[in-house]
Chain A
């Protein structure tokens, strides 16, 4: 059953400068770079914060209880913090419940990752079945490649379409250099049919929100952005969906859950952000969300199709990190809609071969 929300507000946004390597700061400092502007924008201080929900992964941080690095900078010293090991959109859903049940009036949602410090193959290998799969030494790109093969075999999408999604994202990036579709297709083949540039580059990133209940938002005179709904659905582990790996049905189900709570129609959305680590997964999710097929869908990523441009903020492919990507999109889309107002859907995925899908709905009053 999807949740309900009526009176929860996002009153502050903050992000650390994203880069391929932020070796000038520790994880704690990176997080603080995101939290500080969010607090300032909310017009509040760490002392007023009643709790925090953070998103990160122990494996990427190389640290059991990875949130230990950050709970001092989210008000967790003698205060409340809980860590969700997934994309921050799921953490945002949990934070929403803490506001909605009256547990907290003012809290922080923080996501952080320093992917530059991780050994990607070793980490991803650990997500595979230890008995039957790890001896084959796979990583996430291997199953993403299986997925892409299945997707392309449907005859609706091609590697060229994926390359154009990458190019559209990188054209909007403030972190990564622009690339052409041809450069994507000519980049190193990592696992057929995927090329190096099909995957979002690893970066160091942190994003933060301050959220509050309605009374607090009105007291602080920050009622511009409402967190309307959050929903999530979990699919099967990758090896249990060998023939449907290219199917993003849980994304569709999560979006329907969220839209039902909001009482919105998909046609009322002014912004849609899809987040996944591989380009072809954007096509899968877009198709599952009913946003179009083939050329029609790709055109929407490029900004010349019918309806709002998909990933107008760039999304994960334009420079974000695992755990952070969903929250980065929330921050980006809210900044973009600040003047115009509007309704936004932010999607994010987590797990091997986009196993879980998370959706949040936001409403901005100009």
Chain B
């Protein structure tokens, strides 16, 4: 644990209206989010010192996509960092924005995550995540991967399909409160989820995230600027990253036991002084590509004991009026433009802290959790707070 020279905060966010965006190119999608982000805090491109881009370029098949879109990203003449870390990439980019500011190297950094899945072949690209010799021949994109993990999770924890379906219902109903969300189903029921097409046991179509086009942008600013840009900056109190091993077979209980998530959470909680997550956080925006994943995340983020994720949703603890509202934005189950998805988690957590979440605002949010998840069980965590850290020495990272 060591002190940071500069405290930093998320001071602005911007999102596209996510969905199937046949009206806009990839560049226009990215720019839509950036423009909304900068407009919200009154900054111009000239005010930005550096840009961090997150996108999975094999999905749309554009090599060096950051260079191609340098104009749309507002990065001409600036340092442009392109991160490429899978589903996590939006969060990895957000963390990079934070580090570039906290280090004193830059004072205002723009982060942008974007993806236009309707122009690509995401599942084909995801299949290449697997080792080309040992895994790729039996890979079938993200759904098969989550199906095998969810099956193990059911066996290990006793979670039921009905409990998972409740997560799917929660997400799509809350999405109706979020003007940016893709999949809005106000009347969805548990029965409809269970009766929806079985993609790969136990994943029904409504248990899984949609394929979205969209972008998200944030600005991270140094402590001496943050208060001038927004009334309530979302101060970064901790960040952490952890991975699991390369091969699925190295951690066969992945999802039931999310070792990387546990490791990252342990670090981040320790640094931010989180002792009882269910009590200490006011809201959480977590990366749940499948309904089962959210229940597993409850357990592995220590919202409850291992095996108790189903109980938490049964009791309503993670509903908007519960003890710890989880994904009031509708989450990944409602919106998934992959390069932006994890940045949306950070942005939504920041919006809650800044009091800018509109109809899905949770009252009196002081502290929020955001997580990203991707291939190799890649996990990024960011903890944001309304409270400005009292002294640099109290703000630490892994």
Residues from chain A with Cβ under 8 Å of B398 in the complex: 50-51, 80, 103-104
Given contacts A57-B63, A98-B99, A102-B3, contact A127 B68 (CB under 8 A): yes
Q: Which of A28, A71, A82, A90 has most B Cβ within 10 Å?
A: A82
Which 9 A-B pairs rank lowest in CB-CB distance, beginning with the nearest? Answer: A3-B105, A97-B103, A102-B2, A100-B103, A101-B102, A126-B63, A101-B103, A80-B241, A351-B67
List which A279-301 residues lie within 8 A (CB) of chain B: none
B311, chain A: closest CB distance, angstroms: 28
* Interface positions of B (Cβ within 8 A of A): 2-6, 49, 56-59, 61-64, 66-71, 75-86, 92, 95-96, 99-100, 102-107, 125-126, 128-129, 132, 239-246, 259-260, 263, 374-376, 378, 396-398
Distance of A176 Cα from B69 Cα, bound (Å): 36
* Interface positions of A (Cβ within 8 A of B): 1-5, 28, 50-51, 57-59, 62-69, 71-72, 76-86, 90, 93-94, 96-105, 123-124, 126-127, 129-130, 231-237, 240, 250, 253, 350-352, 355-356
Closest to A240 in B: B71
Q: What are 26 A-B pairs with beta-carbon distances under 8 A?
A: A1-B107, A3-B104, A5-B105, A58-B56, A58-B57, A59-B57, A63-B132, A79-B242, A80-B241, A82-B96, A84-B83, A85-B82, A94-B100, A100-B103, A101-B6, A102-B3, A103-B397, A126-B62, A233-B77, A233-B79, A234-B79, A236-B71, A237-B67, A237-B68, A350-B64, A355-B70
Distance of A77 Cα from B242 Cα, bound (Å): 7
Distance of A211 Cα from B70 Cα, bound (Å): 30
Residues from chain A with Cβ under 8 Å of B129 in the complex: 63-65, 68
Distance of A83 Cα from B6 Cα, bound (Å): 24
Distance of A94 Cα from B101 Cα, bound (Å): 11
Residues from chain A with Cβ under 8 Å of B259 in the complex: 78
B244, chain A: closest CB distance, angstroms: 7
Residues from chain A with Cβ under 8 Å of B240 in the complex: 80
Cross-chain contact A64 with B128 (CB below 8 angstroms): yes
B384, chain A: closest CB distance, angstroms: 17
Cross-chain contact A101 with B4 (CB below 8 angstroms): yes
Cross-chain contact A123 with B81 (CB below 8 angstroms): no
Cross-chain contact A82 with B83 (CB below 8 angstroms): yes
Cross-chain contact B76 with A234 (CB below 8 angstroms): yes
Cross-chain contact B82 with A84 (CB below 8 angstroms): yes
Residues from chain B with Cβ under 8 Å of A233 in the complex: 77-79
Residues from chain A with Cβ under 8 Å of B100 in the complex: 3, 94, 97
Given contacts A65-B86, A82-B96, contact A235 B63 (CB under 8 A): no
Cross-chain contact A90 with B243 (CB below 8 angstroms): no
Given contacts A103-B397, A234-B77, A234-B80, contact A65 B106 (CB under 8 A): no
Residues from chain B with Cβ under 8 Å of A93 in the complex: 79, 81, 105
A122, chain B: closest CB distance, angstroms: 9
Distance of A51 Cα from B247 Cα, bound (Å): 20
Distance of A50 Cα from B2 Cα, bound (Å): 13
Distance of A233 Cα from B80 Cα, bound (Å): 7
A83, chain B: closest CB distance, angstroms: 5
Distance of A66 Cα from B244 Cα, bound (Å): 15
Cross-chain contact A100 with B81 (CB below 8 angstroms): no
Cross-chain contact A83 with B64 (CB below 8 angstroms): no
Distance of A71 Cα from B263 Cα, bound (Å): 16
Q: Which of A4, A103, A231, A235 has most B Cβ within 10 Å?
A: A103
Closest to B98 in A: A101
Residues from chain B with Cβ under 8 Å of A94 in the complex: 81, 96, 99-100
CB within 8 A of A234: which of B5, B59, B67, B244?
A: B67
Residues from chain B with Cβ under 8 Å of A104 in the complex: 398
